[in-house]
Amino acid sequence: MLAHPSASVGTRRQQRWWSGLLLWGLTLAAMSAAHAQTTLAIEIVTPANGEVIHAHDSVDIDLTSEVWGTYSNYVLSVEYFVDDVSVGFGDGTPARRFVWRGVTPGTYMIRAHARAGIPLAPPGFTADSPPVQIDVRAPQIRPVLAPDAPPLQFTPGTEVAIPVIALDEFDHPMPGVVLSWNVTTVDKARPKANCADTDSPDHDQSTTDANGRALLRFVPGCTSSNRQLVVRSGNAAAPLQLTLHGPDDRAGAIRLASGESVLVLPPATSTPITYAVVDTQDLPIAGATVDLSLAPADAGSIEPSIRVGDDGSATAHLKLTEAGTAAVLTACVRGNTGVCVHVPVRNTHGAIAVPAAAILTPIVQQALDAPGTQFDNINQHLRSQRSGGAGRFSNDVTVSTDKGSVGGDGANEGGASPSRVSVFAAGNIDLGQRDGSRDGFDATTRGLTVGVDVRVKPSLVLGAALGGLRAHTDAAAGVRLHASGLSGSLYAQYLPTERAYVSAALNIGGEDFDMRRPACGKQLTASTDSSHRALSLEAGYSLASRAIRFTPYLRYQYVQADLDPLLEHGDCIDALSISATSLRRSTLAGGASIDRAFSTRSGVWIPALAVEYTSQAQHHDAIFARLLAAGPTVPVQLAKVDRHFGIARFSLSWMTSVQAHPLSAFLGLDTDIGRSDYDSRTFMLGLRIPF
């Protein structure tokens, strides 16, 4: 009997269902058997336990897993927990990475939960990783100076733009970072030079662009010392500190714009002093501050500091006092002790005019007095000759000898011709003194004159004389002067009547002067020469009554001297150069003398006393002096001389005869009376031998 077809189909379906169920059961049984032979282990390797992470909104978590047994290739899933809160699942590969996003700073505990088994099968077995604790901190952003930044320097008043870059700990540029910055003056405590404005702004905030760059801009105030720029980000471990070098710090040298090595200035006058400030490349630096000081302080006044302009120059105004003869002006770039200039300062009055006058005053006096030394000897000789009864000018003086009576001029009582030739020698010592703290001096002059004259006829004597002198002078300011000179004279005496006389003398000569004075801690030396031409005219009339004679007289003298330039030698900035000059002196004197003859066994002695009134005019061409080192030429003013004064003269003549030949000698003393500028005393001694 055949079965129904539908019954056969149903039977086959039931058979397949039971077969599948049986297979599943067998599988489960196999899996259950495998559980006992399988082990699962997982571990978080990144980040490490205790690691500090500077997160950038996410943290990468890496996991390793190992499964031993039947299902070693079937880790179905890994779930990640942070502080026991699920944050997501990883994939099913052997090495698993999970990106934890939206991380904020804090301390967290991370663990992983893994499940292993057969896909589509009931859950197999699970494992948890050891927990990992991490400390998440904000990113470490640090500002750095951009590689293309300009030199870190500034000029007051000119905007500064400093580019900086914000980098993370991986040196990646960070956009959108707010950087705060501030500027401070390094030398803020020191006073400013003519300056009140400050840095603008001195603090601000700047945000980095898409490339992580920010440009910090400010305008430095007038303070010229360095600036410190400090840049911070919100969580930077250390700020960026930059030093901007101001003009003071960049200065390489300071010098006088004029290039002078010494300043020579008039006292009591405000004089501009200009300095130039340059860098190490000798280029002008603008905006620097120059501090000034003057030593000694009482030498004058100057601004304590000045500011350098855009052209690299700065001008101060120095006003010296009369006492500021020698000073040092120091100029230093502020805060830069190695950039200074020390300039000696001298005032034209105390350093030039005063010492030049101290040097020249005794030289001028000596140059004009030099002819007078020989004139005095000649005039005293002629005076003695007249006293001896030469020619018709006599007070009837004779000298008695064993061979008869002989006149003072060599004529005997019998009327024999007088000696035609006579030789004389005379010397004098002049002690001169001038009072004055600036141009005073003490001078000692020694002169010697040797002459010969010829009686052409009884009323006329012609003669010639040669002489020399030496002088030593101690003058103000330590000046010491030595002089020596030679001169020659032609002279004549004419007796137009028995009571009248006229004498004349012409003198030509020159002097050498050697000078030294202290300066700069040493002795400066100098030499100069003078030449002179001089004329002396004298006329008198004698009123005699036997042994007494009264003689009024009038005398005129003119002296012209040329003085060569004087240059001091010595390594000293105070060494002077004094120009050449021409000197002139004219003297008119009127006076009277009285003498009396005394005849003794030793000879005839004739003392005489004379008083004269002198009117004198002295002139010189303009004299200029300057420091050899530098500076202007300054006129030198010599003190005015007394125009009117008196002279008192005492002389003593002695006449005798040896072997019927007359011999005469004389001595004299001249002294000034009523002279305020110069005192002089002259001692003379002479001897005359007729032949």
Segment 181-193 shows an average pLDDT of 69
Instruction: Give yes or no for residue 314 having a pLDDT over 90.
Output: yes
Model pTM score: 0.70
Instruction: Give yes or no for residue 537 having a pLDDT over 70.
Output: yes
Lowest mean pLDDT among 19-33, 431-445, 536-550: 19-33
Lowest mean pLDDT among 335-349, 381-395, 423-437, 588-602: 381-395
Q: What is the pLDDT of residue 480?
A: 92
Q: What is the pLDDT of residue 538?
A: 97
Residue 119 pLDDT grade (very low, low, confident, very high; cuts 50, 70, 90) = low
Digit-coded pLDDT (tens) for 593-637: 999 989 888 888 999 999 999 999 999 999 999 999 888 999 999
Lowest mean pLDDT among 246-250, 380-384, 580-584: 380-384
Percentage of the chain beyond pLDDT 90 is 48
3-state secondary structure of 320: strand
Is residue 530 within 8 A of residue 519, CB to CB? The reply is no
Least Cα distance to 672 among 246, 387, 412, 365 occurs for: 365
Q: What is the pLDDT of residue 39?
A: 67
Beta-bridged to residue 619, according to DSSP, are 584
Q: What is the pLDDT of residue 439?
A: 64
Residue 340 pLDDT grade (very low, low, confident, very high; cuts 50, 70, 90) = very high
Segment 480-498 shows an average pLDDT of 95
Digit-coded pLDDT (tens) for 274-299: 999 999 889 999 988 999 999 999 99
Highest mean pLDDT among 68-82, 202-216, 230-244, 394-408: 202-216
Digit-coded pLDDT (tens) for 159-170: 999 999 999 878
Alpha-carbon distance of 90 to 79, in angstroms, equals 6
Q: What is the pLDDT of residue 401?
A: 44
Least Cα distance to 222 among 187, 248, 196, 185 occurs for: 196
Pairing of strands 178-185, 598-600: unpaired
CA distances from 28 to 14, 37, 121, 124, 558 (A): 21, 15, 8, 10, 157
Lowest mean pLDDT among 119-128, 517-526, 576-585, 598-607: 119-128
Alpha-carbon distance of 467 to 456, in angstroms, equals 23
Segment 101-105 shows an average pLDDT of 84
Residue 36 pLDDT grade (very low, low, confident, very high; cuts 50, 70, 90) = very low
**Mean pLDDT of the residues in the chain:** 84
Instruction: Give yes or no for residue 395 having a pLDDT over 50.
Output: no
| Exposure b/e, 87-112, CB count within 10 A at least 16 = b | beebebeeebebebeebeeeebebbb
Q: Is 450 exposed, middle or buried (0-12, 13-18, 19+ CB in 10 A)?
A: middle
